[in-house]
Structure 1
Amino acid sequence: MGDTTDGSSNAAHRAQDNSSGSKQPGLIARLFGGRANGVEPVSALPTPNPDQKPQPPMLGMLNLRRMSVEEVMVPKADIVAVAVDTPKAELVKVFRESGLTRLPVFDGTLDTPLGFVNLKDFALKHGFNGKTTKIDLKKLVRPLLFVPPSMPLGILLQKMQSDRIHMALVIDEYGGTDGLLTIEDLLEQVVGEIEDEHDIEEAKSWIQEEPGCYLAKAKTSLDEFEVEIGMDLKADAEIDDEDVDTLGGLVFKLLGHVPVRGEMVTHPKGPEFEVLEADPRRIKRLRVRVPALAEK
């Protein structure tokens, strides 16, 4: 009986201490910023340091909850789309040059979208080299999803899965087209960049298209590329070795902002960088022209 009494007393004493002391939030509270057992989550955000080196975007399932459509979408200016009256030869050309398998279809302007055309539907019905020159693109159009910019990525992913539609147009408050994204864009926020057979071979960071002209991934090692072209790009641009490690980082430093597709910048020593592929958060592919090597 004495042992039982002491044990109960000790348990009650510990419970009293716990109720009067500060409680630490559990794992779920720390991860999702919510309450756990009525405890306010700890929010100890570090003070921003303007001299701190930018960190790469974090990946993971949490991005589906904390990120919205407008943070990932391809801006309207970068959307590759076709008009509903596009002739067959022109449609084939767009498919080939873009490397895309789905293209939005519009009537008049991109603010009046009809849906999208799938490369497989087009190829099965008309082929690429058949005798038919006239096509009715409207009959090939599949429905699109229309979503607001503020929609969380996780909600859109669920809708894409349930509706079996893997492309969405982002519509602004006036009903106009603001951007576009695919299910691949969503998944890349979780697992990182997804490359396919149209991208540069995985083992190669760059390929030489012609003398003095390179097609390169933005994550190409700057040190290795400097050896390839025989130039010290960091010293000539007055960039510290610790500031940038990749070609994409160099272009970001030269411009001072995340560039859009088609934007170009010239290095002080002569090389020209053209952005071939980018999203609102990062550069993906570049074309680098080195005039000094082309003249040899």
Structure 2
Amino acid sequence: MPDPHSSDAEPRPAHSAPSSLLSRIKALLRPAPPADREGIRAVLEAAHDHSILDGESYAMISGALEVADKTVADIMVSRSRMDLLDVSLSLTEQMRTIIETGHSRFPVYEGDRDNIIGVLLAKDLLLTLSDHALDIRALIRPPVFIPESKRLNELLHQFRISRNHLAIVIDEHGGICGLVTMEDVLEQIVGDIEDEFDDEDEKTIFRTGDNSWRAMGTTEIEDFNDVFHVQLPDEDYDTLNGWLAAELGHIPRRGEHFQSQGLTFTVVGADGKRARWLHVQRVSGASSSPETHTP
């Protein structure tokens, strides 16, 4: 019989069996990492349900995940609703479009609307306002073209690297099918971003000419009626957007026109949920009762 005190006997590690069992138990209790985006979403929902993530943080992280799943085609402004500048027109003629739409960047075309030759930044006009004979060719910047299949996370990275904020979207045949901005992408993550015209706590209606105004879709109907001395119904709707959506029978789309009570409403900014900005023009000699809709 072997001598247990002999130097040839192998030492037995202390507590080896319990330690190994404890490791296996810990491995079983440790939650498995998410295997895909659905797993990540489930973790986020659990964190939100247990108040580990507040609502805003949860929405932003979820939005960042969705950006990786979406393409430019999902959020772009369609070709028919693009606000473009014709390079052949004078600066004075261009200013009306620039003021009415309120954008900070405009694709510029020559001859045909499909022939985009550059992008004009409204801020570049500030130092040239006194020179009405200026040819805007001197100010336009090279356009950026991207395919409609490009993923939004890739586009956001491209915007950051190139410092461009607007890209022209082309289809598989090379035709223009829309445009997309950095703001469009960021809104998928953080929600609506109000632009430089926005002042929700104060003004929501801005005069843009002797007979034209720019109004936020969130303008209270009561306030609108006071400014324009009209009587848009406010029993069932609180805002211009709610009233217009009911009149049109659908969520207002960019480029749509609606005439009511001597005013023409043109949707100049909209997303998938509502009209954000409306151009309002008083129609000289128009009756206050007929209502017409132009898609």
TM-score range, shorter chain: 0.5 to 0.7
Q: Distance in 1 between matches of 2:96 and 2:270?
A: 22
Are 2:90 and 2:133, in contact at CA under 8 Å, matched by a contact in 1? yes
Q: Distance in 2 between matches of 1:201 and 1:189?
A: 22
Going from structure 1 to structure 2, the CA distance change for 1:33 and 1:94 (only over 3 Å counts) comes to: same
**1:139-187 Cα distance to aligned partner (Å, 9 max, x none):** 3321121111121111111111111222100101221111112212222
Q: Distance in 2 between matches of 1:128 and 1:271?
A: 30
Are 1:144 and 1:165, in contact at CA under 8 Å, matched by a contact in 2? no
Going from structure 1 to structure 2, the CA distance change for 1:274 and 1:84 (only over 3 Å counts) comes to: closer
Q: Distance in 2 between matches of 1:119 and 1:272?
A: 26
Are 2:101 and 2:268, in contact at CA under 8 Å, matched by a contact in 1? no
Going from structure 1 to structure 2, the CA distance change for 1:291 and 1:233 (only over 3 Å counts) comes to: farther
Shift of 1:25: 5.2
Going from structure 1 to structure 2, the CA distance change for 1:180 and 1:29 (only over 3 Å counts) comes to: same
Are 1:205 and 1:216, in contact at CA under 8 Å, matched by a contact in 2? no
1:195 aligns with 194
1:129 aligns with 130
Going from structure 1 to structure 2, the CA distance change for 1:271 and 1:225 (only over 3 Å counts) comes to: farther
Going from structure 1 to structure 2, the CA distance change for 1:147 and 1:195 (only over 3 Å counts) comes to: same
Q: Distance in 1 between matches of 2:121 and 2:148?
A: 24
Going from structure 1 to structure 2, the CA distance change for 1:67 and 1:272 (only over 3 Å counts) comes to: same
Going from structure 1 to structure 2, the CA distance change for 1:112 and 1:287 (only over 3 Å counts) comes to: closer
Give the residue type in structure 2 aligned to 1:11.
L
Moved more, 258-267 or 141-150: 258-267
Are 1:74 and 1:280, in contact at CA under 8 Å, matched by a contact in 2? no
Structure 1 counterpart SS, 2:22: helix
Q: Distance in 1 between matches of 2:224 and 2:22?
A: 68
Select the residue among 95, 98, 102 that pairs with 2:98: 95
1:45 aligns with none
2:251 aligns with 258
Shift of 1:277: 1.8
Structure 2 counterpart SS, 1:261: coil
Q: Distance in 1 between matches of 2:92 and 2:215?
A: 30
Shift of 1:100: 2.5
Give the residue type in structure 2 aligned to 1:260.
R
Going from structure 1 to structure 2, the CA distance change for 1:232 and 1:73 (only over 3 Å counts) comes to: same
Q: Distance in 2 between matches of 1:261 and 1:280?
A: 10
Select the residue among 101, 107, 110 that pairs with 1:107: 110
Q: Percent identity?
A: 33
Shift of 1:262: 3.6
Alignment partner of 1:140 is 2:151: no
Going from structure 1 to structure 2, the CA distance change for 1:254 and 1:92 (only over 3 Å counts) comes to: closer
Structure 1 counterpart SS, 2:177: strand
**1:73-96 Cα distance to aligned partner (Å, 9 max, x none):** 111122111223222322333333
Are 1:74 and 1:279, in contact at CA under 8 Å, matched by a contact in 2? no
Mark the structure with the bigger radius of gyration. 2
1:33 aligns with 38
In the alignment of these two chains, the number of paired residues is: 248
C-alpha RMSD over aligned residues: 4.3
Q: Distance in 2 between matches of 1:248 and 1:284?
A: 8
Give the residue type in structure 2 aligned to 1:33.
E
Q: Distance in 2 between matches of 1:142 and 1:271?
A: 37
Q: Distance in 2 between matches of 1:271 and 1:133?
A: 33
Q: Distance in 2 between matches of 1:81 and 1:271?
A: 24
Structure 1 counterpart SS, 2:138: helix
Are 1:116 and 1:142, in contact at CA under 8 Å, matched by a contact in 2? yes
Structure 2 counterpart SS, 1:196: coil
Q: Distance in 1 between matches of 2:214 and 2:94?
A: 25
Q: Distance in 2 between matches of 1:192 and 1:287?
A: 23
Are 1:63 and 1:153, in contact at CA under 8 Å, matched by a contact in 2? no
Structure 1: stretches of 5+ with no match in the other structure: 36-40, 43-57, 235-243
Structure with the larger RCO, 1 or 2 (CA within 8 Å, 6+ apart) = 1
1:158 aligns with 157
Structure 1 counterpart SS, 2:251: coil
Are 1:111 and 1:175, in contact at CA under 8 Å, matched by a contact in 2? no
Going from structure 1 to structure 2, the CA distance change for 1:96 and 1:266 (only over 3 Å counts) comes to: closer
Shift of 1:283: 2.2
